[in-house]
Amino acid sequence: MMKFSTSIKHFQDAVNKVTQAIPAKALDPRYENLHLFLDNGSLTLYATDGELSITATTEVESTDQGSFGMKARTILEFLRSMYDTSVTFNIERQQLSDQGLIDISTDKGRYRIPCSFESKQEKKDKDFDLELTLTSADLLDIIQKTIFACSVDGMRPAMMGVLLELENNKITAVSTDGHRLVRCIKTCESGVETKKRIVIPARVLSILQKLTQDDTVTLSIDTTNNSVRFVFPNLILDAALIVEQYPNYEAVIPLDNEKIVSINRSTLYDSVRRVGKFSSIGDIRISVAESVMTLMAENTNEGESAQEEIACVYSGEDLVIGFNSKFIEAALGHIETETITMELSSPTTAVILKPEKEEEQQNLIILVMPVRINN
C-alpha cells in the first residue's frame, strides 16, 4: 500500500503538463496511461505517445515508495471537475494481481478509480552529443514566428517541422509550406563546432509553447538516435526528430528584389483583412505606385468588390502582384515593428517582408509566393 497527500491544484498542474504528451485520440492502449513513481516526498509523473514523452517532478507529502499507472483521461476529468482542496491518494494492490484501486479522499468526498502496477520501465540512456541553453523568451519567440508556416501535408514530412540550424553563436530557425517561408535568427552560446541541422516536429513545438516557464531551457540533441530533449526546472520533454532531409530553403530566397516599399504594418494588416473578405477565392491584388499602395479584391459571382489606397514610401516602377490574402495577413501578424519593408521584383517573384528596424532586419524575414492574377 502507498499513500501521498497534496492539493488538487498542485497535482493538477503537474498532470496537465505531462498529459500533453497523450494525443486526443490515443489509438494504442499502451499510451493511455499516466505513470507515477513515488519516492518519499517526490512524485514523478510520466506520459508518452511513443514518439514524445514528458516527465515532471513535484513535491508531495509521503514516506512511501513505488510505481503505478492510471488512465490519464479518468484522472484528468476528475481533476477538472474539482475545486482546490487538500487531497489524499491511497493506492492498494489487489491480491496476486497487477491491478489495484486508488482511494481518493478530500474534505467533501471519497472517490475510487482503478490502477495498475507495472514494472518500472527501463529507460534507455540517451547519448546527447550537443547541448545549448536558451532563454524561454527566445525559444517562445522562435516557435511563435515559425510554427504558423509549417506544412500540414503528410506527403512532405520534413516540412511538417521547423528546421534548426545550429552554429557556434547562433540558431537559424526555418519553416515553410511551399507557399511561404520564415527564417528567424537568434544569437546563443552553443559551442557547436560544425553546423548541425535538426528538424523538430510542429506538434512538439506547439506543446512546448504551453509548457515553457519563465526561465532558461536546455536543449540537448542525440544526433545518432535522432532525438531531442528540452529540460526545464522540474520538467523534461523528449521527442523524436524528423529524419527526412529538409529542402534547400536558401535557394528560394530571392537575392535581387530591388523594389523596396516601406509601409505602416498595422495599417496594411487591417486593409488586407478588410479587402480580402471580398475575394471569391481568397486572392488579393496589390499594386504599388509612387507613394501609394492599392489593394483590390472581387467576387464576380456575387458582384462584390473592394479597393483601398494606403500611403507608403516607394519611388520605383509601378508593379501589380497577386497574393493569397491569408498568407500576407499571417505574415504581417508575425512581425512586431511599427513599420515594415516589402522587397519586390516582379509579379512572379516572391515578396520578402521584414521588420524595418535595422537590427531586426537581419534576424527575421518572411517570404510569400505570389499567385497568378487575371487582369
Q: What is the 3-state secondary structure (H, E, C) of the chain?
A: CEEEEEEHHHHHHHHHHHHHHCCCCCCCHHHCEEEEEEECCEEEEEEECCCEEEEEEEECECCCEEEEEEEHHHHHHHHHCCCCCEEEEEEEECCCCCEEEEEEECCCCEEEEEEECCCCCCCCCCCCCEEEEEEHHHHHHHHHHHHHHCCCCCCCHHHHEEEEEEECCEEEEEEECCCEEEEEEEECCCCCCCCEEEEEEHHHHHHHHHHCCCCEEEEEEECCCCEEEEEECCEEEEEECECCCCCCHHHHCCCCCCEEEEEEHHHHHHHHHHHHCCCCCCEEEEEEECCEEEEEEEECCCCEEEEEEEECECCCCCEEEEEEHHHHHHHHHCCCCCEEEEEECCCCCCEEEEECCHHHHCCEEEEECCECCCC
Looking at residue 95, what is its pLDDT?
86
277-317 per-position pLDDT tens digit: 999 889 999 999 999 999 999 988 888 999 999 999 999 99
Structural domains of the chain in order of their starting residue, each with its CATH number: 2-116 (3.10.150.10), 130-251 (3.10.150.10), 254-368 (3.10.150.10)
Give the model confidence (pLDDT) of 50-73 as tens digits.
Answer: 999 999 999 999 999 999 999 999
User: What local confidence, expressed as pLDDT, does residue 314 receive?
Assistant: 96
Low-confidence ranges of the chain (pLDDT < 70): 26, 119-125, 358-362, 375
